[in-house]
Structure 1
Amino acid sequence: MREATLRGMLKTSGDCEVEMFSAKGAFTVGGLLNAGRIEVYLHAGCEAKEIGGEYIEVKKGGSSTLNKLLKHIFNSATILSAETIEGDDIYLEYTRAKVVRGKNVTIGPGCEIELVESAEQFRLDPDSEVKQHVKR
């Protein structure tokens, strides 16, 4: 599949591999979410075991009817959870992860990350927590 555009909910126990992944809603990927470009606008809780791609952007979605409906249905925090996130250019908001690896990594507001490994640039919002940062 070349492109996956999600406006609602997706649940898969395995991997999801596409060239472009764009999500506004909620998803659970039991394995690897892999795409050249990943854009996630959080409207409810999202989860993937691993996320990999060249460009990864996770932002909190705006207040909308979809936000309210999904939050009511899933009764979950509006965050992305993953064990590992790996890519070239990474921008994260409201994300909880064990490891984030990238060339250029920006940790925006609302994140809890155990370890960030960056090759070039690293930026950290004061409203987020990174337990350890390693320049590689």
Structure 2
Amino acid sequence: MVGIAGPGDPLANIARTFRTLELIREQLPDLKLCLSTNGLMLPDAVDRLLDVGVDHVTVTINTLDAEIAAQIYAWLWLDGERYSGREAGEILIARQLEGVRRLTAQGVLVKINSVLIPGSTIAAWPT
């Protein structure tokens, strides 16, 4: 298995990431391909991930609460716009979940990573 991960999110430079995946697929066609992402750009990449044969994706989802996301992430950049606060959290979470749903509907194995952050994400987990 070949995994593509940071530093930073691989889908932040989508052209380079897909060129890398294509080169790996050409040279090592029998290897499984995996990608790790924060999920912000995932909905935009699902079709290309399927086309290149990625069959494992890890998505880091630290919270499903937009207020907590606003505490974790100072801002996000999407389609030439900068978002912050609750709005950024809502956008990130919605795009993460959309990407996960679309991938799983196509049979891609999706693993969710979550960082437990004292004082924020831990408090939101059910006890």
Interval of TM-score (by shorter of Structure 1 and Structure 2) = 0.3 to 0.5
Structure of larger gyration radius: 2
TM-score normalised to structure 2 length: 0.36
Compare relative contact order (CA 8 Å, sep 6+) and give the higher one, 1 or 2: 2
Q: TM-score, normalised by structure 1?
A: 0.34
Q: Which structure has more helix as a fraction of its residues?
A: 2
Specify which structure has the higher proportion of strand. 1
